[in-house]
């Protein structure tokens, strides 16, 4: 894959990558920064991509690793202070959902973020996380059950 194709394919994925990073990090600036860092890292390591047909999965995996590193960094710097940004266009109706997703165990949260915020199929999610598709289905079902319970608790 040459740089021109890399640019073209990256630009086509930018909105999906942003949604995924936003779901992980909870803030617009942090999500944009994570996407930029992931694209930079992907470009630096483009020579390591063995199968160009899996470019989107490879790039998403780099983004997830970038987001996880940022979350760890923020946790170390501001253990209790870090909260998602609440700009003027922030939709407060989604706050309980964001909080519920954030409370999920890491392996369940990854599946939910990729499937519902990243718009990946079951197969793409399995490939991105390097787990069997059946495991994705199980984790998704378990996560949705936990989210439903968490959100119903919040209504009571």
Last residue of one domain, picked from the residues 54, 69, 90? 90
The 10s digit of each residue's pLDDT in 92-110 is 445 677 788 888 898 998 8
Domain shared by 114 and 153, yes or no: yes
Domain shared by 100 and 65, yes or no: no
At 31, list the tokens: 């999500």
Last residue of one domain, picked from the residues 55, 74, 90? 90
Q: What does each C-alpha distance from 109 to 19, 35, 82, 156 come to in angstroms?
A: 14, 19, 19, 24
Q: Are 140 and 111 in contact (CB under 8 A)?
A: yes
Domain shared by 100 and 147, yes or no: yes
Domain shared by 123 and 56, yes or no: no
The 10s digit of each residue's pLDDT in 57-91 is 999 999 999 998 988 887 776 544 444 444 444 44
Largest CA distance in the chain: 55
Domain shared by 114 and 50, yes or no: no
Domain shared by 80 and 123, yes or no: no
The pTM (predicted TM-score) of the whole model is 0.66
The 10s digit of each residue's pLDDT in 111-120 is 988 888 888 8
Residue of 9, 58, 13, 65 lying closest to 34 (CA atoms): 65
Domain that holds residue 37: 1-90
CA 58 remoteness from chain centre: 13
Specify the CATH number for the domain of residue 107: 1.10.10.10
């Amino acid at each position: 894959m040459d740089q021109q194709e890399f640019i073209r394919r990256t630009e086509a994925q930018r909105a999906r990558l942003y949604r995924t990073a936003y779901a992980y990090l909870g803030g617009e600036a942090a999500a944009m920064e994570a996407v930029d860092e992931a694209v930079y890292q992907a470009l630096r390591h483009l020579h390591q991509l063995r199968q160009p047909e899996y470019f989107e999965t490879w790039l998403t995996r780099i983004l997830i690793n970038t987001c996880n590193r940022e979350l760890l960094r923020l946790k170390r710097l501001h253990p209790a202070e870090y909260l998602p940004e609440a700009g003027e266009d922030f939709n407060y109706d989604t706050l309980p959902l964001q909080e519920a997703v954030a409370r999920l165990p890491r392996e369940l949260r990854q599946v939910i973020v990729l499937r519902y915020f990243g718009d990946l199929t079951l197969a793409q999610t399995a490939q991105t996380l390097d787990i069997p598709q059946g495991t994705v289905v199980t984790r998704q079902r378990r996560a949705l059950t936990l989210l439903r319970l968490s959100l119903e608790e919040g209504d009571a």
